[in-house]
Amino acid sequence: MTALYLNPVFAAPSNHRYDAQDFERVDDDLGGEPAFERLLAAARRHGLRVILDGVFNHVSSDSRYFDRYGRFDEVGACEDAASPWRDWFYLPHVERAAGDGRTRCAGDLTYEAWWGFSSLPKLRADHPGVRGLVYAGPTAVAPGRVAQGASGWRLDVGGDVDPGVSAPDNDFWEGFRAAVKAADPEAVIIGEEWGDASAWLLGGEWDAVMNYRLRSALLGLVFAGCEGSGCDGGVAFSDGDSNDGSASGAIRRLPPTAFDRRLRAIAEDYPAPAFAAMMNLLGSHDTSRIRFLLASVSRGDADRARACLRLLVAFLAGYPGAPTLYQGDEVFIDAPSRWADGWHDDPYNRAPYPWPDTPGHYTADEALAADVRHLTSARHAVAALRTGRLEHGVIADDARGLYAYARHGEAGTAWVAVNVGAAEATLSLGDGADLLDLATGRVWAGGAVTLPPLGAALVAPADVVDEPAAPVARLADGALAWAPVRTDTAGGREVVVRYALYRGDGPDVPTDGAPWAWVEVELFAEPAPVPVPPGHYRVVAWSAARGGLPSAVVEVPARPRDAGVGTPGAADALPADALLADALPADALAADAGLPPPQDAGRPGAEPADAPAAPRDADEGCQVTGRAPPALPLLLALLALARRRRRT
């Protein structure tokens, strides 16, 4: 991932914080300003951009600006007609009265509220004070937070603030854009609009929009029928957001040809720069959880829903725009909407991520998360999947349920293909050249790709795949260490999903084959020193496409001063866990992530195809205890055992 979009972080009385009390203060429940500064710093270290949520249409009735309950030291707009904030709000209301007019402020006046919710009084976008707070003042929130280190804004109910070119006398978003871009020309501005957002994407307001139209099409592509509440005759499913009265419409089956027409219609509506920057999402804090929806359009079949999620992530991994995941969806969190005269997603859609150290009944599907990790990382292995020219409908086969599109880049073409049919199917992509499956490493001879039902593939010729730069390993105190690899051999961004460590018999062993032996060390976090017995080692950085280049051979001598590693008796001073657990960050040893040990001896850094599997302990629940003599076989066993413990 390259960006983290946060729901609102400013002080608010609710758990969702879409009702700000004070735009100028990070909520103390989130750690306040110090925690926000630490987050920005950590994100910078990881090359991660942080995008904030701008809720500039309304505030909380229990805020310093409105103060309906008289709890703040300042005099709020609802308290007194003499309040400095009185003119920031609509008193009396103009369209939607708070509480249907039953809720009133000083002077017995009604007030305008978002959709009539009395807790959300609407701000006047044309008021100089509101604009000064948001973007035009010396301490304005939007440019100020960007100057602090945020990388842009997502704009909540943006069309309610300024309806775009249809209201030329309202230039709120034009002023907002100018101020934010002055703070950082690269800062992104993403609007929330569920329908056609053309009115805001002509160059003067937003950069892109949350692509709910694409989401609607994708749900239609995998629709296989429904039953029970919300289902209309088995052919249409509706919830609070996807229904015939909404911009999304009810979820109905879209065969590949109809799906293709929908995609082309969306692309035709938007300027190319905006289309290339869309926030392509499957779910959000405003929708039913994707697991619930996919099960609902799979007649309650959770296994089918899981396969559909993987298929949709694969589709987005190569599509123009920013593939976006709502926290917890990648681990298939089970937080269904509830039925009460219609499906209600809130607050169930806000279920927390199932961290291992938090209580609760939510669980994480780590195997699915591994698939998602590789599918999203594959986007970085081929430049065409990020910036290539899009060709819709390379294949659109209703009879077999096949759809494929191509991305044509300078170095070559990549394809994304999905099978929503009920049977295995083979499709031909390209001009007959062999194609590498970026997520599995399989080579499809002659471009004939076979997909199981609900299967998906991202494929490209092997010479189009970017190779990671070679990691540079060094020896210090008996441990190997290397810096994280974040670029490919051409200097572009690269996502390394695994570092593989190999041991050889000498420095002159050829780098393209045996007798190098794989040592089971897999890192998904920052690389850290790994204590190893004496020998000759090299490190290979593996991308999602399993490409990789080795580092130089590093020799580990057997000398007493080398942190005790390789010295008889020295390991007695270290607990068995310390050999690995103390050397690596807490989250360094993850599950397999779907990748077996490298098997292709023809690629740089590969082990021989008949290399023995790394040892594994059958007792996943046992505790590693005792001492570790400096022998490679036992160290390998400890590494594997610690890895098993991490999974449980």
Judge contact between 379 and 317, C-beta under 8 A: yes
pLDDT at 587: 32
Q: Is residue 75 part of a domain?
A: yes
314 in any annotated domain: no
Residue 30 shares a structural domain with residue 136: yes
Whether 133 and 41 share a structural domain = yes
85 lies in some domain:
yes
Together in a domain, 96 and 192: no
Q: DSSP states of 157-181 as a string? A: THHHH--GGG-TT--HHHHHHHHHH
Phi-psi region of 57 (alpha: psi -120 to 50; beta: other; left: phi over 0): alpha
Same domain, 483 and 560: yes
- Residue 270 tokens read as 């938007």
The answer to whether residues 37 and 111 belong to one domain is: no
Residue 91: give the domain boundaries. 62-124
User: Same domain, yes or no, for 91 and 202?
Assistant: no
Q: What would the two tokens of residue 162 be?
A: 């300024």
Strand-strand pairing, 425-428 and 448-451 = antiparallel
Same domain, 428 and 571: no
pLDDT means over runs of 10, the chain (648 residues): 96 97 97 98 92 98 97 96 98 97 97 98 98 97 98 98 88 97 98 97 97 98 97 97 96 98 98 98 98 98 98 98 97 97 95 90 94 90 94 98 97 97 97 91 94 97 91 85 87 83 75 69 67 86 82 75 33 28 28 33 31 29 29 39 39
Residue that is last in its domain, among 89, 104, 124: 124
Contacts 24+ apart (CB under 8 A), 404-407: 404/429, 405/318, 405/319, 407/318, 407/382
Distance CA 73, CA 221 (A): 55
Residue 475 lies in a domain: yes
pLDDT of residue 521: 65
- Extract the tokens encoding 185: 């020309």
For residue 263, being part of any structural domain is answered with: no
In this structure, the answer to whether residues 202 and 103 fall within a common structural domain is no
Measured in degrees and rounded to the nearest 5, phi and psi for residue 472 equal: -105, 110
For residue 183, the surrounding DSSP H or E stretch is helix 172-183
120 and 132 part of one domain: no
Q: Can you state the percent helix, strand and coil of the chain, rounding each to 5?
A: 25, 20, 55
Residue identified by tokens 């076989």 is: 633
Q: Which of 460, 485, 505 is the last residue of a domain?
A: 460
Q: Are residues 474 and 526 in the same domain?
A: yes
Which of 129, 127, 131, 111 minimizes the C-alpha distance to 67? 111
Q: Is residue 379 part of a domain?
A: no
CATH of the domain at 40: 3.20.20.80
Specify if 269 maps to a domain: no
Which of 99, 124, 149 delimits the end of a domain?
A: 124
Give the CATH number, domain containing residue 412.
Answer: 2.60.40.1180
Shared domain check, 154 and 49: yes
Q: Is residue 49 part of a domain?
A: yes
- The whole-number pLDDT of residue 547 equals 76
Name the nearest CA neighbour of 106 among 80, 83, 131.
80
Structure tokens at 469: 């730069």
- Domain count of the fold of the chain: 4
d(C-alpha 492, C-alpha 380), whole Å? 9
| 120 within 8 A of 14, measured Cβ to Cβ | no
Q: How far apart are CA 78 and CA 111, in angstroms?
A: 9
The answer to whether residues 420 and 406 belong to one domain is yes
Q: How far apart are CA 377 and CA 384, in angstroms?
A: 13
pTM of the model: 0.83
N-terminal to C-terminal alpha carbon distance within the chain: 25
Q: Compute the distance between CA of residue 201 and CA of residue 274 in angstroms, rounded to an integer.
A: 7
